[in-house]
Amino acid sequence: MAGGAVVSATGGKDYPGKLTMFVFLTCIVAATGGLIFGYDIGISGGVTSMDPFLKKFFPSVYRKEKEDTSTNQYCKFDSQLLTTFTSSLYLAALIASFFASTVTRLFGRKWSMFGGGLVFLVGAALNGAAENVAMLIFGRILLGIGVGFANQSVPVYLSEMAPARLRGMLNMCFQLMITIGILCANLINYGSDKIKAGWGWRLSLALAAVPAAIITLGSLFLPDTPNSLIDRGYDEAALQMLRRIRGTDDINEEYNDLVVASEESKKIQHPWANILKRKYRPQLTMAIAIPFFQQLTGINVIEFYAPVLFKTIGFGNNSSLLSAVIIGLVNVLCTLVSIFTVDKLGRRKLFLQGGTQMFICQVIVGTLIAFKFGTSGEGDMPKTYAAFVVVFICIYVAGFAWSWGPLGWLVPSEIFPLEIRSAGQAINVSVNMLFTFAIAQAFLSMLCHLKFGLFYFFAGWVVIMTIFIAFLLPETKNVPIEEMVVVWKRHWFWGKFIADEDIHVSGKAVEISNGKPKGAGV
């Protein structure tokens, strides 16, 4: 065997091979799956605040909204009907991700992406052409199914295709596409709202077909990952694919490790029952905790409600839409920071730094609002004062954009062993969707009751999640995905859950002594 793997500084192996143009392009195409999710996050809030849309589909909501004369800045009119309509997508995505996990495992990652894109495309057409609420809701459910399939398969695909030492960077292109989708949607809403004839909402909803067409067509050209090919019995194809994506013939060691992982995987009939086993407790905990915490940063309060929030704190109609666009830009640019540093700095440093930054900003924003509106919610905010609020919201978004945003998708996709990876990712997606739904649903009444304290509420959660990461998340940078079990085995807390015989890494790189891989640390 020529060459082979060497043990890297972090304890994982370092396989030979480089970042080929082929793997780079495949990852960019696959990452466009994030566009559909981002587009929807960005478009819904704007459309449901357009008068012609409300008049046509939700006339009672429209009437009540116009009758609302409350001057309390915290307690504006709130329609549960409208929020339920918006968040029906998240419930559909939640359920779809479980079906996606079976498709992803049995037929390959690529067909999940294709299916997701196609269903989303049909949903976009239905929504753009909607004549009644039933068409609108049915369309939304289809969009949700599309998002469920794409979010389940794309992060896993990217993590498997990427060479270990660039996995963070390539996986994060998914989050980059999410943020680009949000920004485009914000810009489109800004323009379509100005269409006097009143069909702007149709344009906004129908244009979702563009990102859907990109991922649907793009996925047809994507090869499947070597991990999935081996797992489905296409060993020869997997070997060739590995040579192609690594740009070298010296892939035997990595190939052997994939085969070992696949043999382990074949022993398991029911990923759903297995995932509950004690040895998978660390990964299962992360697949639940990370998406839960990601939503408890409060980011979607800013994403969904930025225009409402800015209007509330004294911005005019137009300037609040503009502020949403500025936030969208900050989100895109700061995701790039993470892309270029995650494989050098590691996941933990970004999580800890980003968390601290978000906490400080949330406390400042809460306090600034408290000074102006107090607990009564009555008052006015001068322009310069409001500008300060926006600046701190932007710094908060920057912190999210280089930590919990991209890492919330990267880490769960890289920690599961092959046999339960698809199931684990479905849990990640569904927990994410469940809490996106819950926060969207609860936000307006929480703001009305907690007032400026809402920002302290999320700040409190950021403290908890930062401590959680500090103690319980091991560093995963540069560790090959099929060797990840070693990282858990070495961890001061999670190590106890994994028996020596649970470590099936091939080759000589990892030696077990005294029940721990050599070189074990905290």
Binding-site ranges for ligand BGC (CB under 6 A): 41, 175, 178-179, 182, 294, 299-300, 303, 331, 405, 408-409, 432, 436
- Say whether 512 sits in a helix, a strand or coil: strand
Cβ proximity to ligand BGC: between 43 and 299 the closer is 299
In angstroms, the CA 40 to CA 510 distance is: 45
Cβ proximity to ligand BGC: between 171 and 320 the closer is 171
In angstroms, the CA 386 to CA 79 distance is: 26
CA distances from 81 to 6, 48, 376, 441 (A): 58, 11, 27, 10
Cβ proximity to ligand BGC: between 342 and 487 the closer is 342
Cβ proximity to ligand BGC: between 97 and 228 the closer is 97
264 sits in which H/E element: helix 252-266
For every residue of 266-294, DSSP letters joined together read HT-S-HHHHTTSGGGHHHHHHHHHHHHHH
Residue 263's identity, in one-letter code, is E
Pairing of strands 516-517, 6-7: unpaired
Nearest to 154 by CA among 182, 101, 113: 113
- 282 Cβ neighbours under 8 A, 6+ residues apart: 415, 488, 491, 494, 497, 498
Cβ proximity to ligand BGC: between 412 and 517 the closer is 412
In angstroms, the CA 469 to CA 462 distance is: 11
Long-range CB contact pairs, 311-317, < 8 A, 24+? 312/73, 312/74, 312/76, 313/73, 313/369, 313/372, 313/381, 313/386, 313/389, 314/380, 314/381, 314/382, 314/383, 314/386, 315/386
- Say whether 13 sits in a helix, a strand or coil: strand
CA distances from 6 to 16, 117, 152, 516 (A): 9, 39, 32, 19
In angstroms, the CA 412 to CA 415 distance is: 6
Angle between helices 209-220 and 21-31 (to 10 degrees): 140
Residue 22's identity, in one-letter code, is F
How many CA atoms, within 13 angstroms, populate the side-chain half-sphere of residue 174? 29
Contact in structure between 258 and 426 (CB atoms under 8 Å): no
In angstroms, the CA 183 to CA 357 distance is: 23
Cβ proximity to ligand BGC: between 177 and 230 the closer is 177
Q: What six digits make up the tokens of 470?
A: 């500090």
